[in-house]
C-alpha cells in the first residue's frame, strides 16, 4: 500500500473524527483493522488499535474540550508497526500513535483558529449564502488536508526510525503486552472514576472481572 | 403558513451530518447550523430577501450542542421558521437548548453508548472473534443507535417545535445514560477478567504478578486523577516505551 493512499485514508478518518458524520470509523480499533487489511495484517491492526482504544476509553470530547486524535495516528501506528517484528512493531506503533495523537490535538486547535477567521461573523460582517457554504466547506477541506499531512508525516518519520528501533526492543510479546496493559490501567481507573466512582460502580466492575475470569477458565 | 417543503427538510437532515465542519472557538457550530438550514431557509423566505438575510444572521450566531442531538434543534428551528415565530423567540429557544442538548448528548453518547460498544467489541475480540466481526459488531451496533438518535431528534424537533423539551423529558435520557455507564463499567471489568484469564495460560507467573500489581496501582491512580488520567497514561507509557527502546539500543 503506498504512502499517499494511506495518507488519504488518514485524512478521511480525520474528517470522521469531528467534521463529517462521526460514524466512529475513526476509532483506533476500526482504523487499526482497516489499515491492517490494507497493509496485509488485520490481526496486528486489531491488536494495536485495540490497545490504543483502551488508552482512549476515558476521553470524552465534551463541550469544546481539546482531546487527542485517534484515527490518523492509528493509521500511522499500524502502517509502521507492521514493518517491524511483532512485539517491537506493537510497542513502536503504540508509542508513535500516542505521540501523534497529541500532535493531532495541537493541529486541531490551529485548525479551529483558522476556521474561526473563515466563518461569517453576524455581528461584524454580512452573512451571504455563498460565504456560509464557502467557509463551511473550507473548514471541512482544511480538516482533510490536516489529517492527510499528519498521516503522511507520521508514516514518513516512523518508517525512517523503524529500522533502527526494530532490533532495539528487548521484550517478547508477553512482556510488551504486560507493559502496555499496566499503562492502560490508568485510563481504565479514570473511566470508572468519571462514571460515578468506586462506591457507585465498584461492585459492577468487580462482578465483570470475576464473571469473565471464571468464564474464561471454565469455557 | 410558509413552508420549507419536504426537500428542504431532507436537505437540512443530510447537511446535519456536517454540522461540525466549521467548528471554531467563536461561533462553535454556529456556521454548521446555518449551513444545514440554508436550503430550507431559501424555500421558506422565497421572494422575501430581507427576511432571508435576517434569518441567515440569526442562525449563524454562536451555537453549540452535541452533534447528534443538534438535529433536534435543527428540526425545531425549521418548525419555528415555518410558523413565522418571533425572531427573538427563536434566539431564546436556541440559547435555552444548547446547554441541555450538549450535556445530554455527552452523557448518553460519549460517556455511555460509545464506551459500552467499544468495550463490548474488544471483549468479543479477546474471546476470539476475527477482526472483521469485531469491527462490524462495533460499527453496526454504534451506528444503529447514532442514526436512530439523529432521526428521532429531527422528527421530534419538526413535530414539537419550541415544545421539543417535552419529547426530551419523555425519553428519559438521564436514566438511559446511567444504564449505559453501568454497562460500560461492567464490560471494562469483564475485559480485565477475560484478559487475565487468557494470560494465565500463556504468561509466566512473574509477568502475571507484575501485571496484577501494576494494574491495581494504575487503576487506583487513574481513579484519583479522573478525567486527566489519559494525559498521565499517554506520557508515562510513551516515556517508558522510549526508555525501554533506548535500553535495548545501548544494551
Question: What residue ranges do the domains of chain B occupy?
Answer: 5-202, 205-251
CB contact under 8 A, A94 and B192: no
Q: What are phi and psi of A150, to 5 degrees?
A: -60, -45
**Shortest Cα–Cα distance, B51 to chain A (Å):** 13
Dist CA A152 CA A123 (whole Å) = 39
Least confident of A153-157, A185-189, B2-6: B2-6
Residue with cell 451555537: B63
- Which pLDDT value is given to residue B3? 85
Quote the mean pLDDT of chain A: 94
Q: How far is CA B147 from the centre of its chain?
A: 12
More confident position, B118 or B165: B118
In this model, does residue B43 exceed pLDDT 90?
Answer: yes
Specify the pLDDT at position B201: 87
Number of domains within chain A: 1
Binning pLDDT at 50, 70 and 90, where does residue A198 land? Answer: confident
Give the span between the Cα atoms of A136 and A127, in whole angstroms. 13
Name the residue with cell 499500524.
A78
Chain A from 16 to 75: CB within 8 A of any B CB: 18-25, 27, 29-30, 33-34, 36-37, 42-43, 45-46, 50, 53-64, 68
Q: How far is B134 from chain A (nearest CA, A)?
A: 9
Please tell me the predicted confidence (pLDDT) of residue A215.
94
Mean pLDDT of B2-27: 93
In this predicted structure, what is the pLDDT of residue B232?
80
Average pLDDT on B58-82 reads: 95
Partners of B167 in beta bridges: none
Q: Which of B63, B241, B247 to mutate against chain A (most A CBs within 10 Å)?
A: B241
Name which of A37-51, B24-38, B134-148, B218-232 the model is least confident about.
B218-232
Predicted confidence at residue B188, as pLDDT, reads: 96
Q: Which of B61, B63, B186, B189 to mutate to test the interface with A (most CBs of A within 10 A)?
A: B189
Question: What is the pLDDT at residue A95?
Answer: 96
- Mean of per-residue pLDDT scores for chain B: 94
Residue in B111, B109, B79, B110 with CA at minimum distance from that of residue B94? B79
Answer whether residue A109 shows pLDDT above 90: yes
Whether the pLDDT of residue B229 is over 80: the answer is no
Measured between beta carbons, the chain A residues lying within 8 angstroms of B143 are 23-24
Contact B157, B74 (CB under 8 A): yes
Using a CB-CB cut-off of 8 Å, the residues of chain A touching B110 are 60-62
Confidence of residue A172 (pLDDT cuts 50, 70, 90): very high
State chain A's maximal CA–CA distance in angstroms.
Answer: 69
Q: Cβ contacts (< 8 Å) between A103 and chain B: which residues?
A: none
d(CA A120, CA B19): 15
Q: What is the mean pLDDT of residues B146-153?
A: 97
Query: A187 to chain B: which residues are within 8 Å by CB?
Result: 222, 229-230, 233
- B53 contacts A191? CB cut-off 8 A: no
DSSP for residue B45: T
Q: How confident is the model at residue A1 (pLDDT cuts 50, 70, 90)?
A: low
- pLDDT of residue A123 exceeding 80: no
ipTM value for the complex: 0.95
Q: Give residue A198's domain range.
A: 3-218
DSSP B67-119: TTTHHHHHHHHHHHHHTT--HHHHHHHHHHHHHHHHHHHIIIIIIIIHHHHHH
Confidence (pLDDT) at A63: 66
pLDDT average, residue stretch A174-195: 94
**Residue B188 to chain A, least CA–CA distance (Å):** 7
Q: What pLDDT is attached to residue B250?
A: 87
Burial of A102 (0-12, 13-18, 19+ CB in 10 A): middle
> Out of B26, B103, B184, whose CB is closest to A195?
B184
Count, residues in chain A: 219
pLDDT band at A27 (very low <50, low <70, confident <90, very high): very high
Q: Under an 8 A CB cutoff, do B185 and A192 touch?
A: yes
Mean predicted confidence (pLDDT) in B200-225: 92
Distance between CA B102 and CA B66 in Å, rounded?
4
Kindly tell me if the per-residue pLDDT of A136 is higher than 70: yes
Yes or no, beta carbons of B233 and A55 under 8 Å apart: yes
- B211 at the A interface (CB within 8 A)? yes
At B170-202, the pLDDT tens digits run 999 999 999 999 999 999 999 999 999 999 988
Chain A hits for B27, Cβ within 8 Å: 116, 119, 121
The per-residue pLDDT for range A37-69, each reduced to its tens digit, is 999 999 999 999 999 999 999 988 876 677 899
Amino acid at each position: 500500500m503506498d504512502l499517499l493512499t494511506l495518507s488519504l485514508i488518514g485524512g478521511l478518518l480525520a474528517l470522521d473524527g469531528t467534521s463529517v458524520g462521526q460514524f466512529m470509523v475513526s476509532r483506533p480499533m476500526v482504523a487499526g483493522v482497516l489499515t491492517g487489511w490494507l497493509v496485509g495484517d488485520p490481526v496486528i491492526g486489531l491488536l494495536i488499535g485495540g490497545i490504543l482504544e483502551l488508552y482512549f476509553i476515558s476521553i470524552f470530547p465534551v463541550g469544546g474540550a481539546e482531546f487527542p486524535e485517534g484515527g490518523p495516528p492509528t493509521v500511522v501506528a499500524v502502517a509502521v508497526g507492521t514493518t517491524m517484528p511483532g512485539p517491537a512493531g506493537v510497542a513502536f506503533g503504540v508509542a508513535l500513535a500516542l505521540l501523534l495523537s497529541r500532535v493531532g490535538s495541537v493541529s486541531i486547535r490551529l485548525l479551529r483558529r483558522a476556521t474561526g477567521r473563515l466563518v461569517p461573523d453576524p455581528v461584524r460582517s454580512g452573512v451571504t449564502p455563498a460565504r456560509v457554504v464557502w467557509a463551511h466547506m473550507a473548514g471541512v477541506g482544511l480538516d482533510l488536508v490536516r489529517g492527510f499531512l499528519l498521516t503522511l508525516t507520521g508514516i514518513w518519520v516512523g518508517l525512517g526510525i523503524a529500522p533502527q528501533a526494530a532490533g532495539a526492543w528487548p521484550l517478547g510479546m508477553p512482556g510488551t503486552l504486560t507493559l502496555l496493559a499496566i499503562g492502560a490501567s490508568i485510563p481504565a481507573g479514570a473511566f470508572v472514576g468519571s462514571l460515578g466512582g468506586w462506591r457507585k460502580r465498584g461492585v459492577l466492575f468487580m462482578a465483570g472481572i470475576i464473571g469473565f475470569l471464571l468464564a474464561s477458565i471454565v469455557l | 403558513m410558509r413552508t420549507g417543503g419536504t426537500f428542504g427538510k431532507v436537505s437540512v437532515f443530510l447537511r446535519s451530518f456536517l454540522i461540525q465542519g466549521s467548528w471554531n472557538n467563536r461561533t462553535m457550530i454556529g456556521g454548521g447550523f446555518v449551513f444545514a438550514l440554508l436550503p430550507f431557509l431559501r424555500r421558506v423566505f422565497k421572494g422575501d430577501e430581507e427576511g432571508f438575510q435576517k434569518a441567515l444572521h440569526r442562525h449563524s450566531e454562536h451555537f453549540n450542542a452535541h452533534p447528534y442531538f443538534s438535529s433536534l434543534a435543527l428540526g425545531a428551528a425549521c418548525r419555528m421558521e415555518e410558523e413565522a415565530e418571533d425572531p427573538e423567540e427563536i434566539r431564546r429557544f436556541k440559547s435555552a437548548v444548547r446547554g441541555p442538548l450538549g450535556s445530554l448528548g455527552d452523557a448518553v453518547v460519549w460517556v455511555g453508548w460509545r464506551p459500552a460498544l467499544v468495550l463490548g467489541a474488544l471483549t468479543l475480540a479477546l474471546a476470539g472473534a476475527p477482526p472483521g466481526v469485531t469491527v462490524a459488531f462495533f460499527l453496526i451496533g454504534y451506528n444503529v443507535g447514532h442514526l436512530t438518535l439523529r432521526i428521532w431528534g429531527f422528527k421530534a424537533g419538526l413535530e414539537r417545535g419550541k415544545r421539543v423539551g417535552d419529547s426530551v423529558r419523555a425519553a428519559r435520557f438521564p436514566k438511559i445514560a446511567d444504564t449505559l455507564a453501568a454497562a460500560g463499567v461492567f464490560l471494562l471489568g469483564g475485559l480485565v477478567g477475560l484478559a487475565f484469564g487468557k494470560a494465565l495460560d500463556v504468561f509466566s507467573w512473574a509477568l502475571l504478578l507484575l501485571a496484577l500489581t501494576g494494574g491495581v496501582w494504575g487503576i487506583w491512580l487513574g481513579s484519583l486523577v479522573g478525567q486527566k488520567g489519559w494525559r498521565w497514561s499517554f506520557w508515562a507509557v510513551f516515556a517508558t516505551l522510549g526508555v525501554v527502546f533506548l535500553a535495548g539500543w545501548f544494551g
